[in-house]
Amino acid sequence: MEGKAGLVTGAGSGIGRGSALAFAREGAKVMVSDKNEDSGKETVWLIEEAGGTAAFFRCDVSNEDDVKALVDATVAEFGRLDFAHKNAGITAKVAPIAESDSADFDRVIQTNLYGTYYSMKHEVRAMLKTGGGAIVNTSSGAGLEGVQNMIDYVASKFGINGMTKTAALEYSRHGIRVNAICPGLTATPDVENWFAAAPEQAKAITATLPSGKLATPNDVGNAAVFLCSDLAGQINGVTLPIDGGFSVGKFQG
């Protein structure tokens, strides 16, 4: 990734931070974006402390004007947009469909699905001006199979996978590749706090994973870097599970 520049949204913590750090380790210049300015700037500090190059731009991906401004700021800062990892996303309270909240549904769709649409729309426009690039969208294992009590989140992630494949078809001849990553349960701060508070539940969940362990933000970030690198030049329109084999089938350990 030496000499390349791009952006990562939701980069203030978890998978987004892992991705931003991974891109920087491979020599890329990274525009770190997050709604939380303090956590986003902390990611920039971590990159710079390790000898990398980064800047921060606050962005709410549910707002198209914010997304356009982020892309414009990245090009202004680094001169081009070679890669983009749209990672920012949210969940809502867990509930079966009959008990779900329509306002929550709208909020999740606006951030996750519309946020991905806005991101690709403006990222592609920037990449067309410089002859191509690579986009990675964070989907989920919940975008590959149904998950009970998460109708809003599942709908948003299935939608991301469909939009990813559509954009890949539309812009492949223009040198732009678009892929999605579908992480399983990942050791983000929120998940680690959950597991610490419920150790027996954590043990039971971990036992269902063929690998016997959660993915780390670094694992997911490395996959994003690979898909945006020249090594993945013929990989386009995929929805890549990063789940230690969980989505392959039932594990009978």
Catalytic residues: 153
Secondary structure E strands in the chain: 5-8, 29-34, 53-58, 83-86, 133-138, 176-183, 239-242
Residue type at position 94: V
The letter for the amino acid at 191 is: V
Contact 110, 61 (CB under 8 A): no
| Region of residue 10 (left: phi > 0; alpha: psi -120 to 50; beta: else) | left
131 Ramachandran zone, left/alpha/beta (phi>0; psi -120 to 50): left
